[in-house]
Amino acid sequence: MEGLLILSRKVSCGNVTNIPQKIPEITSDIVNILMIAVPIILVIMGGFDLVNSIMSQKEDEIKKGRQKFVKRLIAGSVVFFVVVVVKLIVSVVADSSSANIVECIDCFISNKCK
């Protein structure tokens, strides 16, 4: 009975109504997991690359490992901040008539649905 009750709850996103509440919850959870897990994985992989290159004790390998580590740190930062940047750009570009777009982004990314 509780499963039917959860599926029957609806939210709205701008002009779109009757969206099952579970859909924004799932997308919000996925975004949160990606924002946390991907940067951590990239930093750990970069750390392993750096340690492996240092263990080889070759100057060329150490330089390549350091460059690879920096690239993975940058990629992890980009992944972490991409959602924030997209929300910022959309809110700046969207005019008052398209405020529904900002509401929908908040609904599906931050699970702030009405």
Domain membership of residue 104 as a residue range:
19-110
Asked, for residue 13, whether it belongs to a domain, the answer is: no
Asked, for residue 48, whether it belongs to a domain, the answer is: yes
- 0.85 cut: is pTM over it? no
* Structural domains of the chain, count: 1
Contact (CB, 8 A) for 76 and 82: no
pLDDT at residue number 1: 46
Asked, for residue 102, whether it belongs to a domain, the answer is: yes
Asked, for residue 80, whether it belongs to a domain, the answer is: yes
Asked, for residue 2, whether it belongs to a domain, the answer is: no
Q: What digits encode the pLDDT tens for the residues 61-92?
A: 888 888 888 888 888 888 878 888 888 887 78
Asked, for residue 79, whether it belongs to a domain, the answer is: yes
C-alpha to C-alpha distances, 34 to 30, 45, 81, 103, nearest whole angstrom: 6, 16, 11, 21
Q: What digits encode the pLDDT tens for the residues 11-28?
A: 777 677 788 888 888 988
Q: What digits encode the pLDDT tens for the residues 34-66?
A: 888 888 888 888 888 888 888 888 888 888 888
